[in-house]
A and B are shown apart, each in its own frame.
Chain A
Amino acid sequence: MMIARRINAWKHFSNGVTINNPVLVLMLGLCSVIAVSTNVLNALGMGIAFTFVMVCSNVLISLIRNVIPDAIRIPVFIVIISTFVTITDYVLQAFMPVIHSQLGIFLPLIAINCIVFGRAESFASKNNPIASLFDGFGIGIGFTIVIFLMGAIREILGNGTICGKVVLGKAFAASPIAFMILPPGGFLVIAFLMGMRNWLSNKEKK
């Protein structure tokens, strides 16, 4: 019984990272991924903020799933999710003001992020709190991995640094491919990440 439950928990977690990867597979929440991935620190900040909101709202919704009347479940989800978003917003503002100002309006916009809503509706409102915890965690980590990858690629190519440390030599850092940290670079990197995922899954099928 215990082992079966553990396997299930692992399955919920790893599904979120791979099969249900919110960004690359479901193509949800793209706005914030492209917008804040200009460097690694911002990307990590966004990933952690998102994971926090995702896990908390998933668990809370699943705890009260039998109490919520079906007709008003959407407004209830909205209130729960935006409460956690507001908490994250103010905590970041107090303890990491630099990252908070970099994330700008994309932090409050987590409140209407389609991923959080989608999981609340399709998973948390039908499963027990433990499963929802792992599902939320998996989705959050899947999101963080993609945004971290994008942040790393864009910072290395566009600035010649990673977390502020010079990589690829001083000559490259002096004249990097500056357009990678501007908006066009964001579109280009996400395009090739998606293309790579498609290529990998096509190869698996063969």
Chain B
Amino acid sequence: MQSLFLIFISAFLVNNIVLMRFLGLCPWLGVSNRIGPALGMSVAVIFVMLLSSSVTWIIYNFLLLPMGLVYLRTMVFVLVIGTLVQFVDLFLKKNRPALYKSLGIYLPLMATNCIILGAAFLIIDYNYNFIQSIVFTLGVSLGFMLAMIMLSSVRERIDTADIPPSLRGAPIAFITASLMSLAFLGFSGLFGL
């Protein structure tokens, strides 16, 4: 059995969710123009992901597996995550207005974020127990935050640079991403992962 630390490092650096697994590219490119919104989005992801991973883990292991309904997992997960996001949205709006205000529009965007659903599927693929899946989720969401902060800091500089017109916007961001991911390749083999 892998130790928890290795699961965390693997999810955080070696198999970074954005740069190595290509999940969550839409929000990664969409809100990484400035560092402020990028941080807001990352915090929202960490928050919702910890909730959704525990809920989908419980549903999968205590409801779908014993009842032989594994083939319904895609539908159930999408619906559960969508409902959960709505629920969190309403709850925060009523009980924690300050936090709700700071998360702003990023919360509803969570429902179609492929990181959250992707992590739920990966946890099943890896056969993690509850503690392992929480640690894995933490690693994945912090890895997203790291990638988000890195790209947004670079993009603030790119804005003032002289770039060929056809490469402005998304293409140059992808070239940046490519270099970052090349750097992250250096982590493979770390601790024998």
Contact = CB atoms under 8 A, between A and B. Distances in A.
A112 B185 contact: no
Contacts of A111: 74-75, 78, 117
B117 A112 contact: yes
Interface string B172-191: 11110111011011000000
B121 A109 contact: yes
Interface residues on A, range: 35 or more
Contact of A31 (B26, B74, B174, B185): B26
A195 B185 contact: no
Given A34-B25, A187-B178, A196 B114 contact: no
Interface in B153-193: 164-168, 170-175, 177-179, 181-182, 184-185
Contacts, number: 116
Contact of A78 (B26, B82, B171, B182): B82
A195 B23 CA distance: 22
Nearest to A192: B171
Contacts of A32: 22
Nearest to A80: B75
Nearest to B167: A195
Contacts of B178: 184-188, 191
Interface of A is mostly: helix
B121 to A, nearest CB: 4
B113 to A, nearest CB: 8
Contact of A112 (B114, B171, B179): B114
A31 B21 CA distance: 8
Contacts of A34: 22, 25
Contact of B25 (A31, A85, A179, A202): A31
A117 interface: yes
A108 interface: yes
- Chain B interface residue number, banded: 35 or more
Contacts of B75: 78-79, 82-83, 86, 111
Interface of B is mostly: helix
Interface of B: 19-26, 29, 71-75, 78-79, 82, 112, 114, 117-118, 121-122, 125, 164-168, 170-175, 177-179, 181-182, 184-185
Given A78-B79, A108-B117, A195-B166, 20 more contacts: A27-B29, A27-B170, A30-B26, A31-B114, A35-B22, A79-B75, A85-B74, A86-B71, A104-B125, A105-B118, A105-B121, A109-B121, A112-B78, A114-B112, A187-B177, A187-B181, A191-B173, A191-B177, A192-B171, A195-B164
29 contacts: A28-B26, A30-B22, A30-B26, A31-B22, A34-B22, A78-B78, A78-B82, A86-B71, A89-B74, A105-B118, A109-B118, A111-B74, A114-B26, A117-B112, A183-B19, A183-B22, A184-B178, A186-B22, A186-B178, A187-B174, A187-B178, A187-B181, A188-B175, A191-B167, A191-B174, A194-B171, A194-B174, A195-B167, A202-B166
Q: Which 7 A-B pairs have the closest CB atoms?
A: A191-B174, A187-B178, A199-B166, A82-B75, A198-B166, A35-B22, A184-B182
